[in-house]
């Protein structure tokens, strides 16, 4: 079976101020309360510009992994970015991604969500691609709903 990494990206315009969307994305400890499959989160370290976070997630099976996250927002809340790369996992070989936010006005934000994963074991490419691409719309929807509630 060939090794296939899956990558996907999705752009949507959401009816949420950029600052609230950024706040929802960076509130890692709250993920279990609104992100499907996230059972627990342990923030190992955190600064204004990033964090190291351990996730326990139910996907096809129970998976644990740690990500190095980097976060930045400009002073006027016109643009923001949260990116991550895999730090440690027995399940993933690669788990990288990013959120890019652009303000389109006081209550509209353009959201770009990118995800790139590869398992640490052989998996059919079509399964991997479907899993990754299928997760994007739901993830954006969950974070948008959370941001609206803040």
pLDDT tens-digit series, residues 119-143: 888 878 777 777 788 888 999 999 9
DSSP label of 123:
-
Q: Which structural domains are found in the chain, ordered by start?
A: 6-149 (3.30.530.20)
pLDDT tens-digit series, residues 31-59: 999 999 999 999 999 999 999 999 999 98
CB 17 within 8 A of CB 77: yes
Q: Where are the beta strands (DSSP E) in 60-91?
A: 62-73, 79-89
pLDDT tens-digit series, residues 61-107: 899 999 999 999 999 999 999 999 999 999 999 999 999 999 999 99
pLDDT at 1: 41
């Amino acid at each position: 079976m060939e090794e296939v990494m899956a990558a996907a990206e999705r752009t949507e315009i959401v009816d949420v101020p950029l600052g609230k969307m950024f706040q929802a994305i960076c509130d890692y400890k709250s993920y279990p309360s609104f992100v499907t499959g996230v059972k627990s989160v342990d923030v190992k370290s955190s600064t204004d510009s990033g964090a190291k976070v351990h996730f326990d997630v139910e996907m096809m099976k129970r998976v644990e992994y740690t990500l190095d996250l980097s976060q930045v927002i400009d002073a006027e809340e016109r643009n923001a970015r949260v990116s991550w790369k895999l730090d440690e996992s027995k399940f993933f070989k690669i788990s990288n991604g990013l959120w890019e936010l652009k303000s389109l006005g006081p209550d509209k934000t353009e959201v770009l969500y990118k995800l790139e994963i590869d398992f640490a074991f052989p998996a059919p490419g079509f399964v991997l691609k479907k899993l990754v691409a299928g997760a994007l719309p739901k993830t954006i929807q969950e974070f948008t709903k959370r941001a609206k509630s803040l």
